[in-house]
Protein backbone atom coordinates (compact mmCIF):
# COMPACT_ATOMS: atom_id res chain seq x y z
CA UNK A 1 0.00 0.00 0.00
CA UNK A 2 1.57 3.28 -1.04
CA UNK A 3 1.78 6.29 1.26
CA UNK A 4 -1.17 8.18 -0.25
CA UNK A 5 -3.44 5.15 0.19
CA UNK A 6 -2.16 4.68 3.74
CA UNK A 7 -3.03 8.30 4.45
CA UNK A 8 -6.57 7.80 3.10
CA UNK A 9 -7.03 4.64 5.22
CA UNK A 10 -5.71 6.47 8.30
CA UNK A 11 -8.02 9.44 7.66
CA UNK A 12 -10.98 7.07 7.23
CA UNK A 13 -10.35 5.37 10.60
CA UNK A 14 -9.93 8.69 12.43
CA UNK A 15 -12.88 10.33 10.72
CA UNK A 16 -15.17 7.42 11.49
CA UNK A 17 -14.37 7.48 15.19
CA UNK A 18 -14.44 11.26 15.53
CA UNK A 19 -17.87 11.32 13.87
CA UNK A 20 -18.97 8.65 16.36
CA UNK A 21 -17.75 10.54 19.43
CA UNK A 22 -19.31 13.81 18.24
CA UNK A 23 -22.61 12.07 17.48
CA UNK A 24 -22.60 10.57 20.98
CA UNK A 25 -21.55 13.81 22.73
CA UNK A 26 -23.96 13.21 25.60
CA UNK A 27 -22.05 10.01 26.41
CA UNK A 28 -18.56 11.10 25.41
CA UNK A 29 -18.15 14.71 26.54
CA UNK A 30 -20.97 15.71 28.88
CA UNK A 31 -20.25 13.29 31.78
CA UNK A 32 -16.64 14.47 32.24
CA UNK A 33 -17.62 18.13 32.14
CA UNK A 34 -20.41 17.51 34.66
CA UNK A 35 -18.17 15.52 37.02
CA UNK A 36 -15.30 18.01 36.97
CA UNK A 37 -17.74 20.88 37.48
CA UNK A 38 -18.82 19.13 40.68
CA UNK A 39 -15.17 18.66 41.70
CA UNK A 40 -14.47 22.35 41.11
CA UNK A 41 -17.57 23.28 43.07
CA UNK A 42 -17.17 20.91 46.03
CA UNK A 43 -13.40 20.49 46.40
CA UNK A 44 -12.29 23.73 44.82
CA UNK A 45 -14.83 26.26 46.07
CA UNK A 46 -16.58 24.86 49.17
CA UNK A 47 -13.79 22.79 50.77
CA UNK A 48 -10.81 24.42 49.06
CA UNK A 49 -11.65 27.88 50.32
CA UNK A 50 -11.03 26.60 53.86
CA UNK A 51 -7.63 25.06 53.02
CA UNK A 52 -4.22 26.73 53.13
CA UNK A 53 -2.31 27.45 49.94
CA UNK A 54 -0.14 24.70 48.44
CA UNK A 55 3.23 25.90 47.09
CA UNK A 56 1.76 29.39 47.14
CA UNK A 57 -1.30 28.60 45.03
CA UNK A 58 -4.94 28.44 46.10
CA UNK A 59 -6.31 24.91 46.38
CA UNK A 60 -8.53 25.23 43.33
CA UNK A 61 -5.61 26.51 41.23
CA UNK A 62 -3.61 23.54 42.47
CA UNK A 63 -6.20 20.92 41.55
CA UNK A 64 -7.25 22.27 38.14
CA UNK A 65 -4.31 20.68 36.22
CA UNK A 66 -4.85 17.35 38.00
CA UNK A 67 -8.57 17.33 37.29
CA UNK A 68 -7.98 18.17 33.64
CA UNK A 69 -5.43 15.37 33.47
CA UNK A 70 -7.86 12.97 35.19
CA UNK A 71 -10.51 13.67 32.54
CA UNK A 72 -7.99 13.31 29.72
CA UNK A 73 -6.71 9.97 31.04
CA UNK A 74 -10.21 8.52 31.47
CA UNK A 75 -11.46 9.74 28.10
CA UNK A 76 -8.44 8.82 25.99
CA UNK A 77 -8.51 5.37 27.56
CA UNK A 78 -12.21 4.73 27.25
CA UNK A 79 -12.36 6.08 23.71
CA UNK A 80 -10.00 3.50 22.25
CA UNK A 81 -11.09 0.67 24.53
CA UNK A 82 -14.80 1.20 23.78
CA UNK A 83 -14.41 1.89 20.05
CA UNK A 84 -12.14 -1.10 19.48
CA UNK A 85 -14.12 -3.44 21.71
CA UNK A 86 -17.41 -2.50 20.02
CA UNK A 87 -15.80 -3.06 16.61
CA UNK A 88 -14.59 -6.44 17.86
CA UNK A 89 -17.93 -7.30 19.46
CA UNK A 90 -19.96 -6.44 16.32
CA UNK A 91 -17.15 -7.92 14.22
CA UNK A 92 -17.00 -4.84 12.03
CA UNK A 93 -13.31 -4.64 12.93
CA UNK A 94 -13.03 -7.31 10.22
CA UNK A 95 -13.72 -4.51 7.71
CA UNK A 96 -10.28 -3.14 8.53
CA UNK A 97 -8.55 -6.45 9.10
CA UNK A 98 -9.45 -7.81 5.65
CA UNK A 99 -8.28 -4.60 3.98
CA UNK A 100 -4.67 -3.89 3.00
CA UNK A 101 -4.42 -1.25 5.75
CA UNK A 102 -1.27 -2.10 7.73
CA UNK A 103 -1.71 -2.95 11.41
CA UNK A 104 0.28 0.08 12.55
CA UNK A 105 -2.10 2.38 10.65
CA UNK A 106 -5.10 0.83 12.42
CA UNK A 107 -3.38 1.41 15.79
CA UNK A 108 -2.41 4.95 14.78
CA UNK A 109 -5.97 5.69 13.65
CA UNK A 110 -7.53 4.58 16.93
CA UNK A 111 -4.85 6.37 18.97
CA UNK A 112 -5.36 9.59 17.01
CA UNK A 113 -9.08 9.45 17.72
CA UNK A 114 -8.21 8.96 21.41
CA UNK A 115 -5.99 12.04 21.26
CA UNK A 116 -8.77 14.06 19.63
CA UNK A 117 -11.19 13.07 22.40
CA UNK A 118 -8.59 13.76 25.10
CA UNK A 119 -7.87 17.21 23.64
CA UNK A 120 -11.54 18.14 23.29
CA UNK A 121 -12.21 17.05 26.86
CA UNK A 122 -9.10 18.89 28.09
CA UNK A 123 -10.27 22.11 26.45
CA UNK A 124 -13.84 21.73 27.75
CA UNK A 125 -12.70 21.08 31.32
CA UNK A 126 -10.23 23.96 31.20
CA UNK A 127 -12.96 26.27 29.93
CA UNK A 128 -15.22 25.06 32.76
CA UNK A 129 -12.49 25.77 35.30
CA UNK A 130 -12.48 29.44 34.19
CA UNK A 131 -15.85 29.81 35.92
CA UNK A 132 -14.14 28.98 39.23
CA UNK A 133 -10.59 30.36 39.01
CA UNK A 134 -8.15 32.03 36.64
CA UNK A 135 -5.50 30.01 34.81
CA UNK A 136 -1.78 30.60 34.76
CA UNK A 137 0.52 29.20 32.10
CA UNK A 138 4.13 28.71 33.18
CA UNK A 139 5.51 26.66 30.27
CA UNK A 140 3.31 26.02 27.25
CA UNK A 141 5.74 23.50 25.74
CA UNK A 142 5.79 21.28 28.86
CA UNK A 143 2.03 21.64 29.22
CA UNK A 144 1.29 20.67 25.63
CA UNK A 145 3.86 17.85 25.54
CA UNK A 146 2.49 16.32 28.76
CA UNK A 147 -1.05 16.62 27.39
CA UNK A 148 -0.30 14.90 24.07
CA UNK A 149 1.92 12.19 25.55
CA UNK A 150 -0.69 11.33 28.17
CA UNK A 151 -3.38 11.09 25.49
CA UNK A 152 -1.15 8.82 23.41
CA UNK A 153 -0.20 6.62 26.36
CA UNK A 154 -3.73 6.06 27.59
CA UNK A 155 -5.14 5.62 24.11
CA UNK A 156 -2.59 2.84 23.66
CA UNK A 157 -3.49 1.38 27.04
CA UNK A 158 -7.17 1.38 26.05
CA UNK A 159 -6.29 -0.32 22.78
CA UNK A 160 -4.37 -3.05 24.60
CA UNK A 161 -7.27 -3.56 27.01
CA UNK A 162 -9.77 -3.92 24.16
CA UNK A 163 -7.51 -6.36 22.29
CA UNK A 164 -7.92 -8.87 25.08
CA UNK A 165 -11.38 -7.91 26.37
CA UNK A 166 -13.92 -10.69 26.03
CA UNK A 167 -16.88 -8.83 27.51
CA UNK A 168 -18.06 -5.35 28.46
CA UNK A 169 -16.97 -6.10 32.02
CA UNK A 170 -13.40 -6.54 30.85
CA UNK A 171 -13.23 -2.98 29.54
CA UNK A 172 -14.85 -1.55 32.68
CA UNK A 173 -12.60 -3.34 35.18
CA UNK A 174 -9.35 -1.56 34.33
CA UNK A 175 -10.71 2.02 34.54
CA UNK A 176 -12.66 1.27 37.71
CA UNK A 177 -10.15 -0.74 39.67
CA UNK A 178 -6.81 0.44 38.31
CA UNK A 179 -7.01 3.79 36.54
CA UNK A 180 -9.28 5.60 38.97
CA UNK A 181 -7.36 4.60 42.15
CA UNK A 182 -4.03 5.39 40.49
CA UNK A 183 -5.36 8.77 39.37
CA UNK A 184 -6.70 9.63 42.82
CA UNK A 185 -3.37 8.56 44.33
CA UNK A 186 -1.43 10.36 41.58
CA UNK A 187 -1.33 13.75 43.24
CA UNK A 188 -4.46 15.23 41.69
CA UNK A 189 -5.75 16.57 45.00
CA UNK A 190 -2.54 16.91 47.01
CA UNK A 191 1.21 17.33 46.91
CA UNK A 192 3.11 14.20 47.94
CA UNK A 193 5.35 16.45 50.00
CA UNK A 194 2.50 16.38 52.52
CA UNK A 195 3.07 12.60 52.92
CA UNK A 196 5.48 10.77 55.22
CA UNK A 197 8.72 9.81 53.47
CA UNK A 198 7.72 6.15 52.97
CA UNK A 199 4.48 7.07 51.21
CA UNK A 200 6.31 9.59 49.07
CA UNK A 201 8.53 6.74 47.85
CA UNK A 202 5.51 4.50 47.21
CA UNK A 203 3.79 7.30 45.30
CA UNK A 204 6.80 7.58 43.00
CA UNK A 205 5.92 4.11 41.65
CA UNK A 206 2.64 5.48 40.31
CA UNK A 207 3.15 6.60 36.68
CA UNK A 208 0.14 8.92 36.80
CA UNK A 209 1.95 11.03 39.41
CA UNK A 210 4.51 11.99 36.76
CA UNK A 211 1.85 12.96 34.22
CA UNK A 212 -0.15 15.05 36.69
CA UNK A 213 2.99 16.81 37.91
CA UNK A 214 4.37 17.49 34.42
CA UNK A 215 1.02 18.99 33.46
CA UNK A 216 0.84 21.00 36.69
CA UNK A 217 4.36 22.26 36.06
CA UNK A 218 3.22 23.53 32.66
CA UNK A 219 0.53 25.60 34.36
CA UNK A 220 1.97 26.59 37.74
CA UNK A 221 5.71 25.91 37.52
CA UNK A 222 5.59 23.53 40.51
CA UNK A 223 6.11 19.78 40.64
CA UNK A 224 6.68 17.00 43.15
CA UNK A 225 8.91 15.17 40.68
CA UNK A 226 11.74 16.07 38.35
CA UNK A 227 10.18 17.18 35.04
CA UNK A 228 12.86 15.45 33.00
CA UNK A 229 12.12 12.19 34.83
CA UNK A 230 8.38 12.71 34.24
CA UNK A 231 8.97 12.81 30.48
CA UNK A 232 11.33 9.83 30.62
CA UNK A 233 8.55 7.82 32.34
CA UNK A 234 5.90 9.02 29.88
CA UNK A 235 7.99 8.35 26.76
CA UNK A 236 9.29 4.98 28.02
CA UNK A 237 5.80 3.70 28.83
CA UNK A 238 4.49 4.92 25.48
CA UNK A 239 7.24 3.12 23.55
CA UNK A 240 6.75 -0.02 25.64
CA UNK A 241 2.98 -0.13 25.05
CA UNK A 242 3.28 0.67 21.35
CA UNK A 243 5.88 -2.06 20.87
CA UNK A 244 3.72 -4.57 22.74
CA UNK A 245 0.58 -3.74 20.76
CA UNK A 246 2.30 -3.92 17.36
CA UNK A 247 3.95 -7.22 18.26
CA UNK A 248 0.71 -8.73 19.58
CA UNK A 249 -1.29 -7.40 16.61
CA UNK A 250 1.21 -8.97 14.19
CA UNK A 251 0.80 -12.29 15.97
CA UNK A 252 -2.96 -11.88 15.80
CA UNK A 253 -3.44 -11.89 19.57
CA UNK A 254 -6.94 -10.89 20.60
CA UNK A 255 -7.99 -9.54 17.21
CA UNK A 256 -7.34 -12.35 14.78
CA UNK A 257 -8.08 -16.01 15.27
CA UNK B 1 -4.37 -19.39 -17.27
CA UNK B 2 -2.87 -17.35 -14.39
CA UNK B 3 -3.84 -18.37 -10.90
CA UNK B 4 -6.08 -16.19 -8.76
CA UNK B 5 -5.44 -18.31 -5.68
CA UNK B 6 -2.65 -20.75 -5.00
CA UNK B 7 -2.67 -22.65 -1.70
CA UNK B 8 0.01 -25.19 -0.92
CA UNK B 9 0.24 -27.48 2.08
CA UNK B 10 -1.88 -25.20 4.24
CA UNK B 11 -2.16 -26.15 7.89
CA UNK B 12 -4.11 -24.50 10.66
CA UNK B 13 -4.19 -25.73 14.21
CA UNK B 14 -6.32 -23.92 16.76
CA UNK B 15 -5.12 -23.86 20.35
CA UNK B 16 -2.30 -26.28 19.60
CA UNK B 17 -4.61 -29.29 19.36
CA UNK B 18 -7.56 -28.73 17.02
CA UNK B 19 -6.26 -29.35 13.51
CA UNK B 20 -8.68 -27.48 11.25
CA UNK B 21 -6.66 -27.75 8.02
CA UNK B 22 -4.39 -30.71 7.30
CA UNK B 23 -2.21 -29.75 4.36
CA UNK B 24 -4.69 -28.23 1.93
CA UNK B 25 -3.61 -27.74 -1.69
CA UNK B 26 -5.89 -25.68 -3.87
CA UNK B 27 -5.48 -23.75 -7.10
CA UNK B 28 -8.13 -21.45 -8.53
CA UNK B 29 -7.61 -19.94 -11.95
CA UNK B 30 -8.33 -16.32 -12.77
CA UNK B 31 -11.90 -15.78 -13.95
CA UNK B 32 -13.19 -18.96 -12.34
CA UNK B 33 -16.48 -19.35 -10.52
CA UNK B 34 -15.32 -21.81 -7.89
CA UNK B 35 -17.35 -23.67 -5.29
CA UNK B 36 -15.73 -24.61 -2.01
CA UNK B 37 -18.07 -27.09 -0.39
CA UNK B 38 -18.02 -29.05 2.80
CA UNK B 39 -20.10 -29.87 5.86
CA UNK B 40 -20.13 -27.58 8.89
CA UNK B 41 -16.73 -27.42 10.56
CA UNK B 42 -14.93 -28.90 7.54
CA UNK B 43 -12.54 -25.95 7.22
CA UNK B 44 -14.15 -23.78 4.51
CA UNK B 45 -14.40 -20.66 6.63
CA UNK B 46 -10.90 -21.24 7.98
CA UNK B 47 -9.51 -21.23 4.43
CA UNK B 48 -11.44 -18.06 3.61
CA UNK B 49 -10.39 -16.40 6.86
CA UNK B 50 -6.73 -17.20 6.17
CA UNK B 51 -7.06 -15.79 2.65
CA UNK B 52 -8.54 -12.58 4.00
CA UNK B 53 -6.13 -12.19 6.90
CA UNK B 54 -8.60 -12.84 9.73
CA UNK B 55 -6.95 -16.07 10.75
CA UNK B 56 -3.20 -16.60 11.06
CA UNK B 57 -2.15 -19.81 9.32
CA UNK B 58 0.03 -22.33 11.10
CA UNK B 59 2.07 -23.17 7.99
CA UNK B 60 1.86 -23.38 4.22
CA UNK B 61 2.03 -21.04 1.28
CA UNK B 62 -0.88 -18.86 0.19
CA UNK B 63 -0.78 -16.55 -2.81
CA UNK B 64 -3.43 -14.27 -4.31
CA UNK B 65 -2.70 -13.29 -7.91
CA UNK B 66 0.92 -14.15 -7.17
CA UNK B 67 1.19 -11.99 -4.04
CA UNK B 68 2.26 -13.97 -1.00
CA UNK B 69 0.31 -13.57 2.24
CA UNK B 70 3.63 -13.84 4.10
CA UNK B 71 5.70 -11.29 2.23
CA UNK B 72 3.19 -9.10 0.40
CA UNK B 73 -0.03 -9.39 2.38
CA UNK B 74 -1.08 -5.82 1.68
CA UNK B 75 -1.09 -6.41 -2.09
CA UNK B 76 -2.71 -9.84 -1.68
CA UNK B 77 -5.52 -8.36 0.43
CA UNK B 78 -6.07 -5.47 -1.97
CA UNK B 79 -7.22 -7.98 -4.63
CA UNK B 80 -9.88 -9.54 -2.40
CA UNK B 81 -13.44 -8.58 -1.58
CA UNK B 82 -15.16 -10.73 1.02
CA UNK B 83 -18.78 -11.33 1.94
CA UNK B 84 -18.73 -13.16 5.25
CA UNK B 85 -21.25 -15.62 6.57
CA UNK B 86 -22.52 -13.39 9.36
CA UNK B 87 -23.50 -9.73 9.25
CA UNK B 88 -20.43 -7.89 10.45
CA UNK B 89 -21.08 -4.22 9.87
CA UNK B 90 -21.80 -1.60 12.49
CA UNK B 91 -25.57 -1.66 12.71
CA UNK B 92 -25.60 1.94 13.94
CA UNK B 93 -23.84 3.23 10.83
CA UNK B 94 -25.60 4.51 7.74
CA UNK B 95 -25.60 2.29 4.65
CA UNK B 96 -23.63 4.81 2.58
CA UNK B 97 -21.04 5.34 5.32
CA UNK B 98 -20.42 1.59 5.62
CA UNK B 99 -19.65 1.30 1.92
CA UNK B 100 -17.66 4.55 1.67
CA UNK B 101 -15.55 3.76 4.75
CA UNK B 102 -14.75 0.33 3.37
CA UNK B 103 -13.42 1.97 0.20
CA UNK B 104 -11.33 4.24 2.43
CA UNK B 105 -9.64 1.27 4.09
CA UNK B 106 -8.47 0.25 0.62
CA UNK B 107 -7.10 3.73 -0.03
CA UNK B 108 -9.86 4.93 -2.36
CA UNK B 109 -10.17 8.74 -2.06
CA UNK B 110 -13.45 9.85 -0.48
CA UNK B 111 -14.83 11.64 -3.57
CA UNK B 112 -14.17 8.57 -5.71
CA UNK B 113 -15.52 6.29 -2.96
CA UNK B 114 -18.81 8.21 -2.95
CA UNK B 115 -19.17 7.73 -6.71
CA UNK B 116 -18.35 4.03 -6.49
CA UNK B 117 -20.70 3.57 -3.55
CA UNK B 118 -23.53 5.07 -5.56
CA UNK B 119 -22.85 2.65 -8.42
CA UNK B 120 -22.76 -0.51 -6.26
CA UNK B 121 -25.70 0.54 -4.11
CA UNK B 122 -27.74 1.29 -7.25
CA UNK B 123 -26.79 -2.08 -8.74
CA UNK B 124 -27.86 -3.88 -5.60
CA UNK B 125 -31.04 -1.88 -5.14
CA UNK B 126 -29.96 -0.15 -1.94
CA UNK B 127 -29.45 3.43 -3.09
CA UNK B 128 -32.82 4.51 -1.70
CA UNK B 129 -31.72 3.17 1.69
CA UNK B 130 -28.33 4.95 1.71
CA UNK B 131 -29.24 7.29 4.59
CA UNK B 132 -30.80 4.54 6.73
CA UNK B 133 -29.01 2.96 9.63
CA UNK B 134 -27.98 -0.60 8.77
CA UNK B 135 -30.03 -2.04 11.62
CA UNK B 136 -33.22 -0.92 9.86
CA UNK B 137 -32.55 -3.04 6.76
CA UNK B 138 -34.28 -6.34 6.14
CA UNK B 139 -32.22 -9.56 6.14
CA UNK B 140 -32.03 -9.63 2.34
CA UNK B 141 -30.96 -5.99 2.21
CA UNK B 142 -28.25 -6.65 4.79
CA UNK B 143 -26.91 -9.45 2.57
CA UNK B 144 -26.87 -7.11 -0.40
CA UNK B 145 -25.16 -4.42 1.67
CA UNK B 146 -22.36 -6.85 2.46
CA UNK B 147 -21.94 -7.56 -1.25
CA UNK B 148 -21.91 -3.82 -2.04
CA UNK B 149 -19.29 -3.28 0.67
CA UNK B 150 -17.15 -6.09 -0.72
CA UNK B 151 -17.29 -4.70 -4.26
CA UNK B 152 -16.66 -1.01 -3.66
CA UNK B 153 -12.89 -1.28 -4.06
CA UNK B 154 -13.35 -3.31 -7.27
CA UNK B 155 -11.70 -6.55 -6.20
CA UNK B 156 -10.35 -9.05 -8.73
CA UNK B 157 -11.38 -11.88 -6.41
CA UNK B 158 -14.74 -12.00 -4.64
CA UNK B 159 -15.16 -14.51 -1.83
CA UNK B 160 -18.72 -15.28 -0.78
CA UNK B 161 -19.20 -17.31 2.37
CA UNK B 162 -22.77 -18.58 2.25
CA UNK B 163 -24.12 -15.37 0.72
CA UNK B 164 -27.67 -16.61 0.23
CA UNK B 165 -28.24 -18.16 3.66
CA UNK B 166 -31.69 -17.14 4.85
CA UNK B 167 -32.51 -15.33 1.60
CA UNK B 168 -35.84 -15.93 -0.14
CA UNK B 169 -35.97 -17.72 -3.51
CA UNK B 170 -36.67 -14.60 -5.55
CA UNK B 171 -33.77 -12.67 -4.08
CA UNK B 172 -31.50 -15.69 -4.35
CA UNK B 173 -32.20 -15.93 -8.09
CA UNK B 174 -31.53 -12.22 -8.58
CA UNK B 175 -28.28 -12.57 -6.63
CA UNK B 176 -27.29 -15.46 -8.88
CA UNK B 177 -27.85 -13.26 -11.95
CA UNK B 178 -25.83 -10.50 -10.37
CA UNK B 179 -22.94 -12.84 -9.56
CA UNK B 180 -23.00 -14.41 -13.03
CA UNK B 181 -22.72 -10.96 -14.60
CA UNK B 182 -19.89 -10.04 -12.25
CA UNK B 183 -18.04 -13.23 -13.13
CA UNK B 184 -18.62 -12.69 -16.85
CA UNK B 185 -17.04 -9.26 -16.45
CA UNK B 186 -13.86 -10.91 -15.19
CA UNK B 187 -14.17 -11.14 -11.39
CA UNK B 188 -12.98 -14.47 -10.01
CA UNK B 189 -15.52 -15.78 -7.51
CA UNK B 190 -15.14 -18.31 -4.72
CA UNK B 191 -18.45 -19.44 -3.28
CA UNK B 192 -19.14 -21.52 -0.23
CA UNK B 193 -22.70 -22.61 0.21
CA UNK B 194 -24.82 -25.30 1.75
CA UNK B 195 -27.29 -24.95 -1.15
CA UNK B 196 -25.67 -27.43 -3.50
CA UNK B 197 -28.09 -26.56 -6.27
CA UNK B 198 -26.62 -23.06 -6.09
CA UNK B 199 -23.07 -24.37 -6.59
CA UNK B 200 -24.25 -26.61 -9.42
CA UNK B 201 -25.98 -23.71 -11.16
CA UNK B 202 -23.21 -21.17 -10.78
CA UNK B 203 -19.79 -22.80 -10.49
CA UNK B 204 -17.49 -24.21 -13.13
CA UNK B 205 -15.10 -25.87 -10.69
CA UNK B 206 -15.63 -27.37 -7.28
CA UNK B 207 -13.59 -28.54 -4.32
CA UNK B 208 -15.02 -30.49 -1.43
CA UNK B 209 -13.32 -30.22 1.92
CA UNK B 210 -13.94 -32.67 4.74
CA UNK B 211 -12.27 -32.72 8.15
CA UNK B 212 -9.61 -30.27 6.99
CA UNK B 213 -8.68 -32.16 3.81
CA UNK B 214 -9.64 -31.67 0.19
CA UNK B 215 -11.49 -34.83 -0.84
CA UNK B 216 -12.43 -33.70 -4.34
CA UNK B 217 -11.24 -30.99 -6.66
CA UNK B 218 -12.77 -31.16 -10.11
CA UNK B 219 -14.50 -29.25 -12.82
CA UNK B 220 -18.19 -29.46 -11.92
CA UNK B 221 -19.01 -31.34 -15.12
CA UNK B 222 -16.29 -33.95 -14.51
CA UNK B 223 -17.35 -34.47 -10.94
CA UNK B 224 -20.94 -35.08 -11.97
CA UNK B 225 -19.86 -37.38 -14.83
CA UNK B 226 -17.48 -39.40 -12.61
CA UNK B 227 -20.39 -40.19 -10.37
CA UNK B 228 -22.72 -41.37 -13.06
CA UNK B 229 -24.56 -38.09 -13.43
CA UNK B 230 -25.88 -38.20 -9.90
CA UNK B 231 -27.07 -34.98 -8.31
CA UNK B 232 -24.33 -32.95 -6.64
CA UNK B 233 -26.10 -33.39 -3.32
CA UNK B 234 -25.77 -37.19 -3.53
CA UNK B 235 -22.13 -36.97 -4.60
CA UNK B 236 -21.42 -34.58 -1.75
CA UNK B 237 -22.92 -36.96 0.80
CA UNK B 238 -20.85 -39.84 -0.59
CA UNK B 239 -17.68 -37.76 -0.43
CA UNK B 240 -18.06 -36.56 3.10
CA UNK B 241 -19.04 -39.99 4.33
CA UNK B 242 -15.47 -40.95 3.40
CA UNK B 243 -15.89 -44.62 2.51
CA UNK B 244 -17.33 -43.78 -0.86
CA UNK B 245 -14.46 -41.46 -1.76
CA UNK B 246 -13.00 -42.31 -5.12
CA UNK B 247 -9.26 -42.81 -4.57
CA UNK B 248 -7.11 -40.25 -6.33
CA UNK B 249 -10.05 -38.11 -7.30
CA UNK B 250 -8.54 -34.92 -6.05
CA UNK B 251 -5.19 -35.77 -7.62
CA UNK B 252 -6.92 -36.25 -10.94
CA UNK B 253 -8.04 -32.65 -10.95
CA UNK B 254 -6.51 -30.64 -13.76
CA UNK B 255 -6.42 -27.71 -11.37
CA UNK B 256 -3.94 -29.53 -9.18
CA UNK B 257 -1.54 -30.38 -11.96
More confident residue, B230 or A27: A27
pLDDT in tens, A204-222: 999 999 999 999 999 999 9
Nearest residue on chain B to A20, alpha-carbon basis: B93
Q: Which of the two residues, A43 and B53, has the higher pLDDT score? A: B53
Give the minimum alpha-carbon distance from B56 to chain A in angstroms, rounded to a whole number: 6
Contact A9 B105 (CB under 8 A): yes
Note which residues in 13-32 of chain A have CB less than 8 A from chain B: 13, 15-16
B143 touches A: beta carbon within 8 Å: no
Q: Please tell me the distance in Å from A113's CA to the nearest CA on chain B.
A: 16
How far is residue A237's CA from residue A156's CA, in Å, rounded to a whole number?
10
CA distance to partner chain A, nearest, from residue B145 (Å): 13
- Inform me whether the C-beta atom of residue B49 falls under 8 Å from chain A C-beta atoms: yes
CB contact under 8 A, A6 and B77: no
List CB contacts (< 8 A) between A96 and chain B.
Answer: 105
pLDDT > 70 fraction of chain A, expressed in percent and rounded: 100
Query: Can you give the pLDDT at residue B242?
Result: 54
Q: Give the other-Cβ count within 10 Å of B70's Cβ.
A: 12
Mean pLDDT of A104-110: 97
The verdict on a CB contact (< 8 Å) between A252 and B107 is no
Percent of chain A surpassing pLDDT 90: 70
Q: Regarding predicted confidence, which is higher, A192 or A156?
A: A156
* Residue A151 pLDDT greater than 70, yes or no: yes
Q: Quick check: B211 contacting A, CB < 8 Å?
A: no
Q: Model confidence at A50, in pLDDT bands (50, 70, 90)? A: confident
| Contact check, Cβ <8 Å, A95/B107 | no
- Contact assignment for B56 to A97 by CB distance below 8 Å: no
pLDDT for residue B247: 45
* Cβ contact B54–A97 (<8 Å): yes
Question: Would you call B56 and A251 a contact, using CB atoms and an 8 Å cutoff?
Answer: yes
Greater confidence (A195 vs B7) lies with B7
pLDDT for the residue numbered B248 = 45
Q: What DSSP line would sit under chain B, residue for residue?
A: --EEEEEEEEEEEETTTEEEEEEEEEEEETT-EEEEE--TTSSHHHHHHHHTTSS--SEEEEEETTEETTT-HHHHHHTEEEE-SS--S-TTSBHHHHHHHHHHHTT--HHHHHHHHHHHHHHTT-GGGTTSBGGGS-HHHHHHHHHHHHHTT--SEEEEESTTTT--HHHHHHHHHHHHHHHHTT-EEEEE-S-HHHHHHH-SEEEEEETTEEEEEEEHHHHHHHTTT--HHHHHHHHHHSTTPPTTTTTT-GGG-
Q: What residue spans of A100-167 are helical by DSSP H?
A: 103-129, 140-164
CB contact residues (below 8 A), chain A span 72-131, against chain B: 86-87, 90-92, 94-102
CA distance, residue A33 to nearest chain B CA (Å)? 26
- B159 to chain A: closest CA residue: A98
Contact of A247 with chain B, judged by CB distance below 8 Å, is answered with: no
> Cβ–Cβ of A99/B102 closer than 8 Å?
yes
Nearest CA in chain A to B55: A257
Cβ–Cβ below 8 Å for B105 and A94: no
Residues 207-236 of A with CB under 8 A from B: none
Q: pLDDT means per 10 residues in chain B (257 residues)?
A: 92 90 94 92 92 93 95 94 92 96 96 96 94 93 94 96 83 90 95 88 92 89 78 81 49 40
Q: What is the mean pLDDT of chain A?
A: 92
In this prediction the ipTM stands at 0.87
Count of A-B CB contacts under 8 Å? 88
Q: What is the pLDDT of residues A120-134, one digit of tens each?
A: 999 999 999 999 998
What pLDDT score was predicted for residue A244? 96
Amino acid sequence: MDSSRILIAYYTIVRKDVVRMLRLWKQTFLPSVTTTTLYFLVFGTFIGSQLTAIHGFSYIQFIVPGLVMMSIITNAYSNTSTALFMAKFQRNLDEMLVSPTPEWVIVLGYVTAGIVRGLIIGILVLLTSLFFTHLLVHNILVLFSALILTCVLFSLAGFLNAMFAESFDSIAIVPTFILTPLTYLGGVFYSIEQFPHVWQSVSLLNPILYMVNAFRYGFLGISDVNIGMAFVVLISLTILLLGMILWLFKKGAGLKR
Amino acid sequence: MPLAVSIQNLHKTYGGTMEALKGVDLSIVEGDFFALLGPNGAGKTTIISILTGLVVKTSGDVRVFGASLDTDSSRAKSYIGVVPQEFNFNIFEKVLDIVVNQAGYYGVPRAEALKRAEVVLQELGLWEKRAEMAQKLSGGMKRRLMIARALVHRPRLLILDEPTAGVDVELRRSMWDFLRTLNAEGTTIILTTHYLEEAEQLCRNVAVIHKGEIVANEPMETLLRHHGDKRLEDIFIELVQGDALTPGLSKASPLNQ
